[in-house]
Structure 1
Amino acid sequence: MGQMRRRGTVAAGIAALVVPLTAALGGATPAQAATSCTAGVGPYQKQAEKFLGRPVDGKQSSTDCTSIRAFQSKHGITPAAGYAGSVTWGVMNLMNQQKAAGKTPNKAGTCPVNKGRIACVDLTRQLSWIQDGKKLVYGPVPVRTGRDKYETRTGLKKIYWRHKDHVSSLYDVPMPYSQFFDGGQAFHSVGVSMWNPPGSHGCVNMTKTDASKYWSLLKTGDDVFVYGRKPGT
């Protein structure tokens, strides 16, 4: 807040982000889209160019701007003006970290391996996965955790209540596949990008596919371990 996920969940998701520009912009050509783009060179221009597969020259071209703007629009980064600022690079850098995790997200051994089946949440990399001892059961998958003042709380917890068709009584929004593990904080699906700032009200948001899979793999009483610090803190 199911279909079988192929190996390389995060890498495949990130690769899909570099979409054809005309498709991302609703059929507009780069020249048309450039009219609403900034001509300014952002502090992370070269990094953004490299991430998006553009020529890395540190100069803002109309095509560079259109590509950056499409990325921003896709992930709710505002203003979506094609400027390679700190928020845009922060999202791109986070995706790079997630891709680097590959199929060994617990390589450092931070998430306990002596608890049997456990859902791990790494706030720093905005990743979650399910493991059983040292065996990776599912994931890692990108997640969206709590925003400022609504941080997802760290520590060892347990799933204490599940409600597949839950609706928040506090925010009056659907929370499908909810699995609560700390007060009002739960795993559940949402309909926005997992890289969409500024984040949740403390829940661990997932795509519908991933939340559905977590629902099928976890049960009441299973452990959840949350650690790290969300990006930028």
Structure 2
Amino acid sequence: MKAQGAARRRIGAVLGVAGMVVPLSVALGGAPAQAATCTTSTGPYQKQVEKFLGRPVDGRQSSADCSAIRAFQTKHGISPNIGYAGPVTWGVMNLMNQQKAAGSNPNKAGKCPTNKGRIACVDLTRQLSWIQDGKTLKFGPVPVRTGRDKYETRTGLKKVYYRSINHWSTLYDVRMPYSQFFDGGQAFHSIAGSVWSPPGSHGCVNMRGGDAKTYWNMLKNGDDVYVYGRKPGT
């Protein structure tokens, strides 16, 4: 994603965060349309999905299973939201499990530099970000949504070089609140949709509103950003 132009306000924008950060169905309608009927088919990840959702783990689709799966799909912009326990739905759930497992020590493997002072780390593999100072965790880890296939968030050591609290992308005609650019048009910024919504952004590091605001308050121009790993599916 390449965001261009100076920040400007637009009141009552009907698209909110629009297509660059959420699926088109979300951008145009606020959420994917509910399917007319729930699927009766048992998905290839039925047991895993049932366990994640706290359902009885029997590996057989029921109407209650389908309703629970469809609610999850709707919440996170997974389409089609017909309650099928397929690879996309399980992929999102599995990612959430990995993020939870990171706990309060996301840099346990030492992949984000600890000799830079304050630095914002972005782990593409686990879709996590946090701010650390040396070896001390200052904020996070928090879930993020990075670039999709062909629009990958670029890896390596970067620096925050431009900040725009009410940024507007003239390229995609969308709001990008709390934008902090660190590599070309790629930036941290908040979105209104789910940060777990597939397939991903056009390169930016999408964040929940509260997390993006905290990053805005904690970072400044010149601060280091380190991006590493590889987003699933890219």
When normalised by structure 2's length, the TM-score is 0.84
Whole-angstrom distance in 2 between the partners of 1:38 and 1:165: 42
In the alignment, what sits opposite 1:60? Answer: 61
Q: Does 1:86 align with 2:81?
A: no
Identity of matched residues, %: 78
In the alignment, what sits opposite 2:154? Answer: 153
Structure 1 residue 36, shift from structure 2 partner: 1.1
Deviations 1:167-193 (CA, angstroms, capped at 9, x unpaired): 012111011110000000000001010
Deviations 1:138-157 (CA, angstroms, capped at 9, x unpaired): 00000000011111000000
Whole-angstrom distance in 1 between the partners of 2:233 and 2:174: 27
Aligned 8 A contact 1:122 1:128 in 2 = yes
Q: Structure 1: 5+ residue runs without aligned partners?
A: 1-32
Root-mean-square deviation over aligned CA pairs: 1.4
* Number of aligned residue pairs: 202
In the alignment, what sits opposite 1:12? Answer: none
In the alignment, what sits opposite 2:202? Answer: 201
Instruction: Write out aligned runs for 1:24-173 (5 A).
Output: 36-173=37-174
Aligned 8 A contact 1:127 1:140 in 2 = yes
Deviations 1:96-122 (CA, angstroms, capped at 9, x unpaired): 000000000000000000000000000
Whole-angstrom distance in 2 between the partners of 1:148 and 1:45: 26
Aligned 8 A contact 1:65 1:83 in 2 = yes
When normalised by structure 1's length, the TM-score is 0.85
Structure 1 residue 79, shift from structure 2 partner: 0.5
Aligned 8 A contact 1:37 1:66 in 2 = yes
Q: Structure 2: 5+ residue runs without aligned partners?
A: 1-33
Whole-angstrom distance in 2 between the partners of 1:199 and 1:51: 22
Following superposition, which runs of at least 4 residues in structure 1 exceed 2 angstroms of deviation?
none
Give the 3-state SS of the residue equivalent to 1:36 in structure 2.
Answer: coil
Aligned 8 A contact 2:128 2:141 in 1 = yes
Whole-angstrom distance in 2 between the partners of 1:92 and 1:189: 21
Aligned 8 A contact 2:149 2:233 in 1 = no
Aligned 8 A contact 1:34 1:63 in 2 = no
Whole-angstrom distance in 2 between the partners of 1:181 and 1:123: 15
Give the 3-state SS of the residue equivalent to 2:116 in structure 1.
Answer: coil
Give the 3-state SS of the residue equivalent to 2:49 in structure 1.
Answer: helix
Q: Which has the higher contact order (CA 8 A, sep 6+)?
A: 2
Give the 3-state SS of the residue equivalent to 2:70 in structure 1.
Answer: helix
Aligned 8 A contact 2:167 2:176 in 1 = yes
Give the 3-state SS of the residue equivalent to 1:166 in structure 2.
Answer: strand
1:136 maps to amino acid: L
1:100 maps to amino acid: A
1:188 maps to amino acid: H
In the alignment, what sits opposite 2:6? Answer: none
In the alignment, what sits opposite 2:178? Answer: 177
Aligned 8 A contact 1:145 1:152 in 2 = yes
Structure 1 residue 124, shift from structure 2 partner: 0.4
Structure 1 residue 231, shift from structure 2 partner: 1.1
Structure 1 residue 232, shift from structure 2 partner: 2.4
